[in-house]
């Protein structure tokens, strides 16, 4: 791969199963393959979706993102690459770079759906740091409503500060309205990361019965085929629900692409004002 190729990789993470990491990753991928619809700053012509959760393959498992297809002029690839150790991080990085040798400058995106706990377990490994840097990591933390979700994000930041200076928090409204995320909303962690430039995105609710019917079916396939990949036909109400969700969620998640991060000098200045750590 040419050294001047710049990619952006969204690492979708969270403290435990059930907060909606996989679904958020699928929604982000869905937004990226519709760059014209959501008027993204640049067209996304290449998209690689990586399912790294070996125990719960909800993104690229059977019926999930196919190995290759073209959607709205975007070449989309699904890949399964389990990550739970530093070595697997390196191997996943190798596979990603092998998969994108023809990508042009800044026209491609990678979306990783991470397994619960993987980031914290290996965050201090030098190999992981190198892979994150090479993949131009953008962290997307799917927050839960309990205190543990905030504490886990804090631990990630403490263990891996160089790669948590920029990021996004997603409140999955399947768990309640924004005000129900009390532990996050009132936390010192939230105040600190927002001061650094982190942004929040509220992910709307896809009707639970529809989400259950879809299982891991990508949203664009469900809308196009009016069915899930296991053959279950979607009724008209379900079709409307999927279409509406894609529009609202995509419009909100497009903030990921419109975000202009602080420059390194600004971030360094922010950190220097907190000698004991911005998140102490």
Position 180 in a domain = yes
The confidence score (pLDDT) of residue 123 equals 63
For 128-168, give the secondary structure using H, E and C. Answer: HHHHHHHCCEEEEEEECCCHHHHHHHHHHHHHCHHHCCCEE
Q: What is the pLDDT of residue 279?
A: 36
CATH number for the domain spanning 167: value is 3.40.50.300
pLDDT at 164: 84
DSSP single-letter state for residue 240 = H
In a domain, 2, yes or no: no
* pLDDT tens sequence across 105-136: 667 999 999 887 666 666 667 777 778 788 88
Q: CA 24 to CA 177: how far, in whole Å?
A: 16
Residue at 277 is within a domain = no
Is 269 inside any structural domain? Answer: no
- Give me the domain span that covers residue 103: 8-264
pLDDT the model gives residue 230 = 84
Beta-bridge partner residues of 167: 139
Helix (H) or strand (E) holding 172: strand 167-172
Tens-digit pLDDT profile for residues 213-252:
999 999 999 999 999 988 899 999 999 999 999 999 999 9
- Which pLDDT value is given to residue 56? 81
Q: Which regions of the chain are under pLDDT 70?
A: 1-6, 104-106, 117-124, 261-280
Q: Is residue 276 part of a domain?
A: no
> Is position 137 within any domain?
yes
In a domain, 77, yes or no: yes
Domain count, the chain: 1
What count of other Cβ atoms lies within 10 Å of the Cβ of residue 266?
Answer: 13
Residue 144 to residue 239: CA distance in whole angstroms: 28
């Amino acid at each position: 791969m040419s050294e001047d190729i710049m990619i952006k990789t969204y690492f979708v993470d969270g403290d435990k199963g059930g907060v909606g990491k996989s679904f958020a990753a699928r929604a982000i991928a869905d937004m990226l393959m519709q760059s014209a619809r959501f008027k993204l700053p640049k067209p996304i012509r290449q998209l690689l979706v990586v399912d790294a959760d070996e125990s719960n393959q909800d993104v690229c498992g059977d019926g999930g993102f196919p190995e290759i297809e073209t959607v709205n002029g975007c070449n989309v690839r699904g890949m399964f690459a389990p990550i739970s150790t530093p070595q697997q991080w390196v191997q996943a990085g190798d596979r990603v770079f092998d998969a994108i040798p023809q990508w042009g400058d800044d026209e491609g995106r990678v979306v990783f759906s991470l397994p619960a706990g993987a980031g914290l377990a290996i965050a201090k490994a030098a190999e992981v740091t190198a892979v994150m840097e090479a993949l131009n990591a953008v962290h997307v933390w799917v927050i839960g409503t309990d205190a543990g979700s905030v504490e886990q994000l804090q631990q990630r930041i403490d263990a891996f500060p160089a790669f948590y200076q920029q990021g996004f928090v997603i409140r999955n409204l399947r768990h309640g309205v924004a005000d129900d995320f009390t532990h996050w909303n009132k936390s010192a962690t939230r105040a600190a990361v927002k001061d650094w430039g982190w942004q929040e995105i509220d992910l709307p609710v896809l009707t639970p019965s529809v989400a259950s019917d879809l299982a891991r079916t990508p949203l664009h396939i469900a809308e196009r085929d009016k069915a899930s990949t296991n053959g279950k036909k979607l009724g008209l109400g379900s079709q409307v629900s999927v279409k509406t969700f894609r529009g609202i969620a995509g419009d909100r998640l497009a903030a990921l692409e419109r975000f202009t991060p602080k420059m390194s000098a600004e971030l360094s200045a922010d950190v220097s004002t907190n000698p004991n750590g911005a998140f102490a």
